[in-house]
Amino acid sequence: MAKAAISFRVGVPHWLSEVRFGELLALFARHPGVTDEVTFFTSETHAPLPLAEMRRRAEILKERMCEVRKGGWRTGINILATMGHHGENLGNSLTGDYARMTDLAGVVCPGSCCPNDRRFQEGYVAPLYEAMTLAEPDYLWVDDDVRLACHMPIAHACFCDHCLELFRAECGTAYTRDTLKAAFNRGAVSDKLKVRRTWLQHNRNTITNLLGLIERTVHAVRPRLPLGFMDGSRFYEGFDLDSWAAALAGPDAADVYWRPGGGCYEENTPDDFIHKAHEMGRDAAVLPDTVRSIQSEIECFPYERLAKSTQSVAFEAATYVAAGCTGAAYNVLSMYDEPLTEYDSLVARLAATRPFLDRLADLFGRTGPKGIFTGWNKDSFAARNVRQGEWLGDPPAPTPALSHADALFHVGLPVAYRADLAPVVALSGDSVRVLPDDMIRDLFSRGVFLDARALETLNAMGYGDLTGFEIAGQREADTLERLLPHPLNGAYAGRYRDCRQSFMPRNQAAYDLRPRPGAEPLAELVDYRYQTVGACGMGVFENRAGGRICVSGYFPWQGVQNLAKATQMKMVFRWLSRDTLGAYVHSYHRISVWDRTLTDGRHAVALANCYLDPAEQVELMLLTNSVTVRLVDMANRETTVRAAGVDGAYQRFVLPRLAPWQLYLAVTA
């Protein structure tokens, strides 16, 4: 890609008013190059508006887009509410005898219509998209209301009578909401997983069918008009991004744009930016390579200028490209009809960092980062609360295999979002139940890091001869980990780690492991008198398939950011990979790493200093023969760094000072 795909999403108050629209164009003109596209929201509230109003707005937008093109920008329409986000502005929104989104308890969202209702499809969706297509946009976006979760006040949908009838036709069983809830949550684990996975396929079909209707409607009027879709972490919907992209492309393979998004509206919790980057990286990993424009959603809702600094917005954009996006969609301007002068500094900052985004997008393209994979797949959501509790119940439980290893990615270990780009996989709990058998066996021939619950599950599934360990016992309180003398622990043998079980919720036991022949303990469990209560709390094993295994029975996913544990984990993952991790940060810094091998064989590593202190003397280890790297900051300034030594096949580069919450690019010569 020659440059990043950049757009601004513009709210209704800035295009409905002639005066404000002129100020908008003037803002972009003052900052040349800050954007390529100007995309107009159709509404400012989140329930579908009546067709008559949408047609009136389409006529105005047609004129506005003609003016935008005169300024040299591409322009299009973002349909905010196809089926509706939630109940808002209901007195002025769509009425009619349409089925509404319904949860498993029968609660209805009055502002969201069921996408499987044929009357709604034919009476609203098709004429809405026809009207917007006739406005002659350069592209059309479907917003993220096309989803089946989070339609306030309900969490998961749709269980209306129409959807239950469709599901009966798909699975052959006539469920009521009550009997379906029981099937999701009662009985053998295998039975629960079967019906849950069938429901996820039903959800995939629901989204695919609606997007297919949109494609046919639009392309009947404007063949090959590019269509875009905004998603989030859509695991309840079945995460079928590649099929949804194909539905939007249609039989003529029209261009499809993508916009991963959701959350991070303020900068109160900066770690959320990294979490969102990982979500976007997973999205990009599933999308076909034909989807070239992946514009990360960067949103500042409710658009209070002081809620997010210019630095945070610029950092987000760069970090999301590092994870796999190819550009950004800025939704950062005021939602009020008020002057835009207070946004000049923000737009100026984004214009200044645009060359860095172009450089990242051009260098990375659609290549994915290489490193540690967390074992997720499209059915991961089915494993949520599968042993006990309700699948869709409250309080919400996390989706397995998504974020459990995030702490590892903060201490300098590289992340991968695809199994084929990962020499090591880190598996947690019941997430392994939805992995295919052949995939599990393949992973066990590489490097695998397991927590105790994943070990227990895999052993029960018949893989005990490959794991090297079994659970000997567990302790619910007052347990510490002590590192044993072992080459992987180095100088830190004897160090303790206390994760304070008494502060933790349930299911936080410390597990004593029983090594099988050939397995080696790395740590033991001790009590508060420092007496041994478990001979093996963590250990390593090489199995008959040629794989290397590490099992941790003591808080494997948290409490890993102290010096001894962070260093041990880097050595363990390097051992698991047989020294095939492409890059990692050896020094004790809080840095996130995205490592790529470029088509010409060079290494390109994005590093984010996720700390409020500058990072001094960062030691970047690269699996390369090159003895120089170019380090590029967000101002697109370059520094050449020469290797300071070697460690086996790795070159060691000591980097200049890395500023707080900045992204850097290191490229081998």
pLDDT digits (tens, 9 = 90+) for 494-506: 999 999 998 887 6
* CA atoms within 13 Å, Cβ hemisphere of 495: 16
Burial of 505 (0-12, 13-18, 19+ CB in 10 A): exposed
Which alpha helices (DSSP H) does 147-188 contain, by range? 161-171, 177-185
Residue 661 gets the label, from left (phi > 0), alpha (psi -120 to 50) or beta, of left
Total residue length of the chain: 669
Residue 414's nearest CA partner among 657, 663, 667, 622 is: 622
What are phi and psi for residue 593, nearest 5 degrees? Answer: -130, 130
131-142 exposure pattern, b = at least 16 Cβ within 10 A, e = fewer:
bbbebbbbbbbb
Q: Which ranges of the chain have pLDDT less than 70?
A: 394-396, 506-507
Pairing of strands 100-102, 108-113: antiparallel
Measuring CA to CA, how many Å separate 446 from each of 23, 40, 539? Answer: 58, 48, 17
Sequence-ordered alpha helix ranges (H) in 186-323: 189-221, 241-249, 271-286, 310-323
User: Which residues on adjacent β-strands are paired with residue 151?
Assistant: 154
CA nearest neighbour of 364 among 264, 420, 287, 284: 284
| Phi, psi of 67, deg, nearest 5 | -70, -40
H/E element holding 53? helix 51-70
**33 vs 37, 317, 646, CA distance in Å?**
10, 15, 42
Residue reference for tokens 């090959």: 224
**For the chain, how long is the longest CA-to-CA vector?**
78
Distance CA 256, CA 293 (A): 8
Q: What amino acid is encoded at 96 in this protein?
A: G
Question: Which of 365, 367, 370, 366 lies closest to 416 in space, CA to CA?
Answer: 370
In whole angstroms, what is the distance from residue 431 CA to residue 382 CA? 9
DSSP string, 476-488: SSS-EEEEPS-TT
pLDDT value of residue 506: 64
Domains and CATH numbers, the chain: 1-35+261-366 (no CATH), 46-226 (3.20.20.80), 372-579 (3.40.50), 591-668 (2.60.40.1180)
